[in-house]
Structure 1
Amino acid sequence: MEVTLETSRRNFESDMYEVLSSWLAHRDPIPDRWKPKANPKEPMRFSDVQDLGLEGCIDLMHQARDTVSRLKALSDSLSTLTCAVHEKLMAAQENFVSFSNLVCLVALPPELLSRIFNFVVNEDQGHTLPGRQKVAVTLSHVCRYFRDTALSCAHLWSNIGGSEEMAALCLSRSKNARLNVELRIGVIWREISETYDFLPNRILGDALHHSLRWKSLKIEFSLVRAEAGVLDRDSMGGSDIRRAFRDLNAPSLESFSIRGETTFYGHLTEVFGELESWNAPGIRHITSNLFFHFRLPGLANVTSFKLDLNLDATNVTDVPNYLSRLTALEDLQLTVQSSIRDVPLRDEKTTLLGVKRLHIILPIAGDHDFGSSSPLKSFFSSLFFPGVLDLRIFLIGDPRKRYPEADCVEMSLIEDMMCIFQHPDQSPGVESFHLKAYGVNGRLRDATPNQIGRISLVLPLGMLPSLKRLELSSNCHLLFSGDDGLGDSFFEKHPQFSWDSWLPGAPGMASPALETISINIIEERRWCRPVIEFVGGIMQKQKERGDWEIFRELVVVDTSKNQTSTSVYEGDAALQWCTDKEREEPWALLHRLLG
C-alpha cells in the first residue's frame, strides 16, 4: 500500500513538472508526449466507429478517463495552490503598503510627524475627549520612532478626563501644554434631606492643581444612584464643592461648557455663584444647556455663546438683559423650548449690535399657544440683531394626523416663524438665511410618496431686505402660505399677525435682490410644485424689478432616488427650470419616472 501511494505521489510530481515545463516553454498546459491521448478526438462517422469495434471504443474511453483523472488531479491541486498563493499575495501586499508607509513616515522629520499626530488627535471634531486619549496612546504604541515622537509632543497629551489612571498618564506627559479638561460630577439625590452632595471625578484635585494651563473646561453634572457606602466615602458636600472651585485661577481658559439636569438646577446655581471669583479673563466661548447668570469677570470678552433655554424654567426677562452684557458677542446659538405659561410682552428693546452669526433651534413638542402672551413671542419680541449677516433657523416638530382617516401627518410652523420675526428692523442686515424645517416622523421608513409629512411655512422675505443667499431644506413636503394646507386659515384665526406686512413691497418692506437660492427635493412628485412655484415667483419678481443681473444660480439638491445629486442652474436657466417643472403634469412626471 505504501509503495502504491509513493508511486502515485511520484507520478503526480512528474506530471506536475511536465505540465509546468510545457506551460513555461510553450504556454501550452499539455506536454507533447501526452497529446496523442489527451487531445480531444475529432468527430467520427458511424462507419469509422464500426471499424474500431467494441475493443477500440473501449480503449478510447479508457484513454479519456485516464486523461480526465490526470488533469483533474492537476487542476484541483493548482486551484488550491492558486488560492493559497493569492492569500499570501494579499498579505504580502498589505505588508508592502505598511512598510512603504513606515518608510515614508520614518523619513519624515519629527517636526512634520508631530504636526500629523496633532491633526489626528486634536483636530478631528468627531473625537470625544476619551477618544483623543485613546488615539494618542495608540500612536505611541506603533513603533519606537512613533513613541519617541509622541512622547515629545506635549499637546498630544493635553486632554484630561476619563479614568483616574488615564488622566494621571496624560498629565505626566503634557509638560507645559495647555489642557482640555473634562470633569464629570455626580449629584446625589437624597429624598430625606434638603441637603445635596456631589460625587466628583477622582481627577478633580489633580486637575485643579494645573488650572493655570487650562484651555477648555467642560463640566457635566448627572444624577448618581450608588451604594450608600460609596457615597459616604467619596462624596463632597455642597459647601466643599463650592470651596473647590472658589478663587479658581485659570488665566488661559478660553472655552467653558456646562451640562446638567433641570432637576437640580437650584443646587447648580449655588455652585456657580463661585464663578464671579474666578480669574479667567480669556474666556471666549461658553456652552450651557441651563441658563445661569455667569458672573465671570471676563464676560465682556465672550465672542461665542451656545445656550439651551427652557422657557418654563427661565425668567424670559433675564435672558435678554444678560445677553446685552456680552458686548463682544459675535456668534449666538439659542435652542429654545417653549412653554404653555403666559408671559407679558416686553416693552424694553434689547439690541445685540455685535452678533454676526445667529443660529436658532426650535424644538416643538405638541400643541403650544401663540396668543399675545405666548412666552416664545414674548422672548423674541424685544431682541434685535442689526448686525447679523448669517441667520440659521432649525425648526423641528412632531407632525401628526389632523384626523384619524388622514393619509399623512402634517404640521404648521407658521406661528413659530412669526414669533421669531416680529419687527421689520429686527435683523435688517441678514445676507444669508438658511431655514431647515424637519418633522421627527416626517419621512417614515416604508412611507409612500403620498404619505410623507407636510409642513406649512411662511418666509419673512419682506423683513430681510439685504438678503443675498436663501437656502431651504426639509424632510417633509413644504407648503407655503396660500397653498392648500394648514396655512390657509391661520391668519383668520390669528388676527394679531398680519401676513400682508410680511410681503416684499408692503409698506416699509423692501424686496431683497437674491444672488443664490438652494432647495432640496425629497420626492419627485406633485409635492415639489409649491416649492418650485415659490422660488420661481421670487426670481420672476426680481426679474420684473430689474434686479435680474444680480441673480447668479439656483442649486437643487435631489435625494428623491435614495442618492444625493446636485444640479446648478445659472441665470435664465434657473427660471426656465422652474417654468418647465411647473408645466409638468402629474401623469407626465409619473410616466417619466416609471419609464
Structure 2
Amino acid sequence: MNTNLDGESLETAMHNVISSWLVHNDPIPEAWKQTISPIDAMSSNEFLALDTSECRQLVSRSQSSLRRLQCLSDTFRVLSYFYAAKLSAAESNLYAVSNMWSLASLPSELLVRIFEFVVFGDRTLKNRWRAAVPLSHVCRYFRRTALSCPLLWSDVSGNAGMVSLSLSRSEDVPLDVTVAFDTVGSLLDKFLPEASTHSKRWRTLTLQVYCKDSEGVNHRDVEGTLSMFNICQIFGAVDAPSLESLSVINLSDFTLLEEKGSFSQWNTPNLRYLNTTLIPLSLRGLSNLTHLDFTVMMDQFHYNKFFKSVSQLKSIEDLALKLKISRAADHTSTQVFEKTTELCVRRLRVEVAIGSQSTTSFLRSLFSPLTFPNAVSLEVRFTGAVASIYTRYYDYGEEVEIEDGPMLLAAEETNCILHHDGQFPLVERFSLDVTGDVDIDRNPESWYDLQRGKIYLDVPINKLPNLKHLQMCCNGNLSPSFPGWVYGGPVADWTSAIRLPALETINIVIYCPGTAYGFAALIKEILHRQREQRKWETFRELSVTTVDRSAVPGRRTVSATYGGVAAQAWCARRLLITQGYYPSFASGTYVD
C-alpha cells in the first residue's frame, strides 16, 4: 500500500506510532503533536480577527490530521482483525497439539483402556466397530494402538467387508455376533459363512428377525409363523463351546415355532443367558442356563409353550418375564395348569403391558400354578395408557354411557401375580413400578390424561412375609391400597388376620403432587400397622427421590432420607397439603 501522509509514507507513520507506543506508551509521536494537537477554543472576537489565510490554515491542518489518523486507524483495525483470526487459529492449534501430546505421551496400556471405554461404553451403538474405526484413523499412534487391541474388533455385525477386518484383527478374543434374517427364512447378512468358521470363539450371538418388503422396509403389522428350523438350516452344524449368551430378537409380528429339532445340531455347553420369545428345547446346554429373558404373548399358544419349556430349566437364577398383549382375541379361555410348578429362581422381574380386562385373566392363569420358594427379589412393572373409562347402564330401557374419567387400573393385576400365600416365602426386596404411557403422536391427549387421571395400584405386601425392602415408583396421580385398608377411607380396623412384614426400608420415586400424596397415605398406614404389630424397631429409613420433569436440560433429581419418626412426620406434612398443590411444586421438590 503506497499511501502518502503529508510527505510521510504509511509504513514510516506506522513505524513512528509503534515506536512511540513502545518507548513512551504514547500512540502520538512527539513530532506530530504540534500539527495534530487540538485547536484551542477562541472567543468570537479572536476568530473574527483572523484573516482568510489563517482560517484556511486551520482548516487545512484539521483535515490533514483527520486523514492521517483515519488512515492509521483503518490500517490498525484491519491488522487487528487479521491478527485476532490468527490468534484464534493459534489457540486452536495449541489446544489440539496439547491434547495430542497428552494422548501421545500416555502409555499404550492406558490408551487402550480409554479406547475400550469409548467402544463399549455406549450401549446404544448398533455396531460397535463404528466407534473403533474412527479411533484408528486419528493418527499413526492411535492406529497402532487400536490395531494392537483385538478386543476393540470383537463386534461381528453389519457390513460384510468390516466383518472380514474384524475377524482378522480380533485374533483369538471372544466374538459378539449379530445376524439378521427375514421372515421367509432368508439371510439378510451375507457374512455368516465367514463368521461361522470362527464359531468356537463366539461369546454372544444375536439373531434378529425382520419382516422386510421388496424395498427393504421393516413391517410390524404382518402376521404369520416362522419355523426356526429354516433359520437353523442356514447355520448348519454349529460348534460354539464358548457361547454364553443367545438372543432371538423378533422384530416382526410373526410367531416363532420350533420344529424338527431346530437347534439339535448346535453345541452350546456353556450357555448361561437366553433372551427369546421361544425357548428352543432342542438346544443342548439349556440345563446350564442361569439367566432367562422371556417375552410371552398373552394368548393360549404362548401360555402352553411357557409351561412346557420353563419347567425343564432347573438352573435358572434370574428370570425376566415380559408379558405383551397378543392379537389373539380370546384370552379368557386360557387353560389353567392345575399342577403346581416350582421355579428355583433367585430374582424375578415381571413387566406387564396392561391393555384390557383379559390381562388379568391371563396373569391369573399364568401365576396361580407357580411358586418361587427360593426367590429373594421380585420386581413388577406395569405400563399402560391412562385412558377414559366408560360405564354403560340402562335408564328406562335406553342405554346410557357415562365417562368415569381417565384412569389406569393396575390393582387387580398385582394380586394376580402375587396370587396366593406361600408363593414368595423368602422375598426380601420388592419393587413395584407403574408407568402411564405418553404417546403424543398417537394420542395428543395422553399427557393431559396422565396429569388429570388416576392410577389405581394394589400393594399386597401381606403376601410377602419375609419382605424387608420395599421400593415403589409411579409417574401419575396414585391411588394405592392393600388388603385391610382403602385409600381415602377411614382408618382400617386392623385384625390379626392381616399381618404385614417387618419392613426395614421404603424407597419411593415421585414425579408429581398426586404421587406424593398417594405414597404418603400408603406409607403412613404401613408404618402405623408396623408400630401396632410391635415391629417398629425394625424400620430404619424412608428414602424419597423426586424427579423434576421441568428441568432443562434433562431431569433433575433430589433425594432425602428420613428415620422412623421423621418418616411419619414427612407423611403427615404431605397429607396436610391439599392434593395437587405444593409450594415448591415448580422446583419439583417434595423433600424437606
Query: TM-score interval w.r.t. the shorter chain?
Result: 0.7 to 0.9
Q: Give the whole-Å Cα distance in 1 for the aligned partners of 2:463 and 2:420.
A: 8
Superposed CA deviations along residues 303-355 of structure 1, whole A, max 9, x for unmatched, are: 111111102263424313422322221221111024542214332222222x2
Distance 2:237 2:302 in 1: 28
1:6 & 1:456 partners in 2: Cα distance? Answer: 89
Deviates more, 1:215-224 or 1:436-445: 436-445
2:567 to 571, 574, 580: 574
Of residues 566, 577, 589, the one that matches 1:584 is 577
Distance 1:405 1:204, change over 3 A: same
Structure 2 equivalent of residue 111 of structure 1: 109
Structure 2 CA distance for aligned equivalents of residues 548 and 344 of structure 1: 46
2:338 to 330, 333, 347: 347
Cα 1:121/1:592, change in 2 over 3 Å: closer
Deviations 1:109-148 (A, max 9, x none): 33333333233223542322x2x11222222222222222
Query: Following TM superposition, by how much is the alpha carbon of 1:423 offset from its aligned partner in structure 2, in angstroms?
Result: 1.3
Q: Point out the structure with the larger strand share.
A: 2
Measured on the aligned residues, the alpha-carbon RMSD in Å equals 4.1
Identical positions, percent: 30
CA distance in 2 between partners of 1:60 and 1:580 (Å): 85
- CA distance 1:8–1:333, change in 2 (3 Å): farther
Aligned: 1:362 with 2:352: yes
In 1, Cα distance between the equivalents of 2:173 and 2:498? 56
Normalized per residue, which structure has more helix? 1
Q: Which moved more, 1:78-87 or 1:256-265?
A: 78-87
Structure 1 residues 519, 96: closer, same or farther in 2, change over 3 A? same
AA at the equivalent of 1:219: L
C-alpha separation in 2, matches of 1:294 and 1:467: 35
Q: Which residue of 1 aligns with 2:144?
A: 148
Contact 1:330 1:357 in 2 (8 A): yes
CA contact (8 A) 2:211 2:252 kept: no
Distance 1:406 1:32 in 2: 93
Is residue 301 of structure 1 aligned with residue 288 of structure 2?
Answer: yes
Q: Given that residues 487 and 521 in structure 2 are in contact (C-alpha distance below 8 angstroms), is that contact kept between their aligned partners in structure 1? A: no
Superposition TM-score, scaled by structure 2 size: 0.79
Instruction: Give the number of aligned pairs.
Output: 546
| Alignment-derived partner of residue 165 in structure 1 | 161
CA 1:71/1:592 → structure 2, altered by over 3 Å: closer, same or farther?
Answer: farther
Per-residue deviation at 1:450?
A: 9.0
Looking at structure 2, the residues matched to 575 and 19 of structure 1 have their Cα atoms a distance apart, in angstroms, of 79
The match for 2:320 is 333
State the Cα distance separating 1:396 from its structure 2 match. 0.8
Question: CA 1:57/1:505 → structure 2, altered by over 3 Å: closer, same or farther?
Answer: farther
Could you tell me whether the CA contact under 8 Å between 1:407 and 1:450 is conserved in 2?
no
Q: Name the residue aligned to 2:437.
A: 440
> Which residue does 1:415 correspond to in 2?
412
Separation of aligned partners in 1, 2:428 and 2:322: 22
Are 1:412 and 1:487, in contact at CA under 8 Å, matched by a contact in 2? no
Alpha carbons 1:317, 1:379 under 8 Å: kept: no
Check the 8 A contact 2:500/2:530 in 1, yes or no: no
CA drift of 1:182 comes to 1.0
Task: Write out per-residue CA displacement over residues 399-452 of structure 1, whole angstroms, 9 at most, x where no aligned residue.
Answer: 212369979632211122121111122223333332221122289799679944
| Correspondence for 2:207 | 219
Q: Compute the displacement of 1:286 (Å).
A: 0.7
Instruction: Report SS of the residue matched to 1:346.
Output: coil
* Unaligned 5+ runs, structure 2: 217-226, 391-400, 588-592
**Which AA in structure 1 matches 2:106?**
L
1:140-197 deviation per Cα after TM superposition (whole angstroms, max 9, x unaligned): 2222222222222222222112122111121222222221111112233xxxxxxxx5
Aligned amino acid, residue 186 of structure 2: F
In the TM superposition, residue 35 of structure 1 has moved relative to its aligned partner by 6.9
Q: Closer, same or farther in 2 for the Cα pair 1:532/1:238, shift >3 Å?
A: closer
Q: Distance in 2 between matches of 1:506 and 1:19?
A: 99
1:420-499, aligned counterparts within 5 Å?
Answer: 420-441=417-438, 451-481=451-481
Residues 5, 68 of structure 2: 8 Å contact kept: no
- Which residue number in structure 2 is paired with residue 97 of structure 1? 95
Change over 3 Å in CA distance of 1:450–1:119 after alignment to 2: closer
Separation in 2, partners of 1:330, 1:250: 23
1:564 counterpart = 2:551: no
Is this contact kept in 2: 1:37–1:63, CA < 8 A? yes
**Residues 1:95 and 1:348: Cα distance change in structure 2 (over 3 Å):** farther
Q: Is the 8 A contact 2:112 2:146 kept in 1?
A: yes
Return the match for 2:245 from 255, 259, 276: 255
Structure 1, unpaired ranges of 5+: 189-196, 229-236, 490-499
Shift of 1:453: 3.6
Report how far residue 528 of structure 1 moved: 3.2
Q: What is the TM-score with the length of structure 1 in the denominator?
A: 0.78
Q: Secondary structure at the match of 2:262?
A: helix
CA contact (8 A) 2:291 2:318 kept: yes
Matched letter for residue 423 of structure 2: Q
Secondary structure of 2:322's match? strand
Following superposition, the deviation at residue 394 of structure 1 comes to 1.8
Residue 516 of structure 1 deviates from its aligned partner by: 3.6
How far, CA to CA, are the matches of 1:549 and 1:59 in structure 2?
102
Output aligned runs, 1:287-326, within 5 Å: 287-288=275-276, 290-312=277-299, 314-326=301-313
Q: How does 1:498-537 map to 2 (within 5 A)?
A: 507=497, 509-522=499-512, 524=513, 528-537=516-525
CA change 1:227–1:310 in 2 (3 A) is: closer
The aligned residue for residue 392 of structure 1 is 379
CA distance in 2, matches of 1:157, 1:116: 15
| Letter aligned with residue 350 of structure 1 | T
Matched residues in 2 for 1:274 and 1:451: separation? 49
Relative distance call for 1:434 and 1:122 in structure 2 (3 A) is same
For structure 1, which segment, 439-448 or 115-124, has the greater mean C-alpha deviation from structure 2 after superposition? 439-448
Matched, 1:185 2:181: yes
- Which residue in 1 is equivalent to 2:395? none
1:136 equivalent in structure 2: 132
Q: Does the Cα contact within 8 Å between 1:158 and 1:180 map onto a contact in 2?
A: yes
- CA separation of 1:243 and 1:412: change in aligned 2, threshold 3 A: closer
Q: Distance in 1 between matches of 2:210 and 2:439?
A: 32
1:457, CA displacement in angstroms?
0.9
